[in-house]
A and B are shown apart, each in its own frame.
Chain A
């Protein structure tokens, strides 16, 4: 008899969720297309004026990525609850919080990473100077996992409710305000040639806190959701 080690369990979870996402590749493309289309609407609505678009570019990209992620967040635990996989996961001899952390990581890789990859394109559509793009990418790399983690906690809390999608948006968006302020602040500072390290550090600090606490909160919320 061989017991599973923590590493094999983490690998199994990660592999499972990435395989599932790959089997439904079409779903991955949706948030990406959504983000591209929304970004494209801004020049149409505001006119192709360089200076105006440049000024709003950082903020528009960040908010669009946030909204695109929100579209896919809803489904994070839904199918696992529906088919009983979550019950099996709770009964597995592994720390639930860590396993959920792996799920959140897989979710971030399949939803947020493609958005980060196309963000330079979105920035270019809005004439953001190329020199600012590394800062934008850095801000997104820190802000998107923060949103995934915060979102996961709220998804876990709203899992039993009907129309949880709308409720989720109403609960998550206010919580995202600090992340948006710091990420957009970093991009704006870089655009004006000012130091941008401080807001990025704040984002990183918030991310560290969320990495530690959010999976624990998720695990507690999902246990309560099952216990009814």
Chain B
């Protein structure tokens, strides 16, 4: 039996591009991302990976082309909170502990079903650091605290810019694990990375960027 995909893609890009001072940052892109899919955004330094993710998140305006969310033109106020972005700046307050940072995030976004901050922080490798100010954590631990926020919040699409940076081998496995669980639960994710990514939930879709 041939499985014909009639499902509406979660996110569809049609000839999407972005200009900065009339200079195109990347060539027009077309892609479709379905629920349960992982897309790996590949490209050299300066090829516009971060720009693409920031644009999809809604932090940058859409340069040209069309973005469709569940088959309809993407409207920010309709999908607010459904798209999470994790960039180089982690969005953690240095004077607050990982637990307090999570509490702020859940206060703004709500909580994913069946999630509880204490067990999540322990699982993510921050046991014993829950109440330590984030400023005293190492770069890798800060990254883990930011990843805990991703896991804690209800969202369908994750946009992760270099999620593997600063992480040790166990941390990389943790990100892969989180991505697998997220996609298995019907979520989707777009990930940029320079390094080789061994995603164990099958071969991810690849989006190639050209500057």
Q: Which of A9-17, A54-62, A125-133, A169-177 contacts B (4 or more CB under 8 A)?
A: A9-17
Contacts of B106 in A (CB 8 A): 4, 12
Which residues of chain B in 49-93 are interfacial with respect to chain A, using CB atoms and an 8 Å cutoff?
57-61, 80-85, 87-93
Is A88 close to B, CB under 8 A? yes
A12 to B92, CA, bound (A): 14
A23 to B94, CA, bound (A): 11
B96 touches A3 (CB 8 A): no
A94 to B109, CA, bound (A): 8
Is A8 close to B, CB under 8 A? yes
A123 to B62, CA, bound (A): 55
Is A48 close to B, CB under 8 A? no
A89 to B92, CA, bound (A): 11
Which residues of chain A in 209-228 are interfacial with respect to chain B, using CB atoms and an 8 Å cutoff?
226-228
A19 to B101, CA, bound (A): 11
A2 to B110, CA, bound (A): 5
B109 touches A19 (CB 8 A): no
Is A83 close to B, CB under 8 A? yes
Which residues of chain A in 96-143 are interfacial with respect to chain B, using CB atoms and an 8 Å cutoff?
99
A1-B154, A19-B96 as given contacts; A87 in contact with B59, CB under 8 Å: yes
B83 touches A91 (CB 8 A): yes
Contacts of A162 in B (CB 8 A): none
A3 to B154, CA, bound (A): 8
**B89 nearest CB neighbor, chain A only:** A84
B58 touches A1 (CB 8 A): no
Is B118 close to A, CB under 8 A? no
A84-B87, A91-B58, A93-B81 as given contacts; A8 in contact with B107, CB under 8 Å: yes
Is B95 close to A, CB under 8 A? yes
Is B7 close to A, CB under 8 A? no
Majority SS at the chain A contact face: helix
Is B100 close to A, CB under 8 A? yes
A226 to B59, CA, bound (A): 6
Which residues of chain B in 156-205 are interfacial with respect to chain A, using CB atoms and an 8 Å cutoff?
none
**B134 nearest CB neighbor, chain A only:** A83
> In the complex, what's the smallest C-beta–C-beta distance from A17 to chain B, in angstroms?
9
Q: Which of A4, A89, A90 contacts B110 (CB 8 A)?
A: A4
B103 touches A87 (CB 8 A): no
A226 to B85, CA, bound (A): 14
Is A20 close to B, CB under 8 A? yes
A92 touches B108 (CB 8 A): yes
**Residue with the greatest number of chain B CB neighbours at <10 A, chosen from A3, A85, A87, A93:** A93
A84 touches B90 (CB 8 A): yes
Per-residue interface assignment for chain A, residues 1 to 44, with 1 indicating a CB less than 8 Å from any chain B CB and 0 otherwise: 11110001101110110011001100000000000000000000
Is A82 close to B, CB under 8 A? yes
> In the complex, what's the smallest C-beta–C-beta distance from B132 to chain A, in angstroms?
13
A79 to B103, CA, bound (A): 19
Contacts of B80 in A (CB 8 A): 91-94
B107 touches A91 (CB 8 A): no
Contacts of A82 in B (CB 8 A): 89
| Other A-B pairs beyond A91-B57, A99-B108, 15, CB < 8 Å | A1-B112, A3-B81, A3-B109, A3-B154, A12-B104, A12-B106, A20-B96, A23-B96, A83-B90, A84-B87, A84-B88, A84-B89, A88-B108, A89-B108, A90-B58
A-B pairs with beta carbons under 8 Å apart, 6 shown: A1-B110, A4-B109, A12-B104, A87-B91, A88-B105, A91-B59
Q: Which residues of B contact A (CB under 8 A)?
A: 57-61, 80-85, 87-96, 100, 103-113, 133, 154
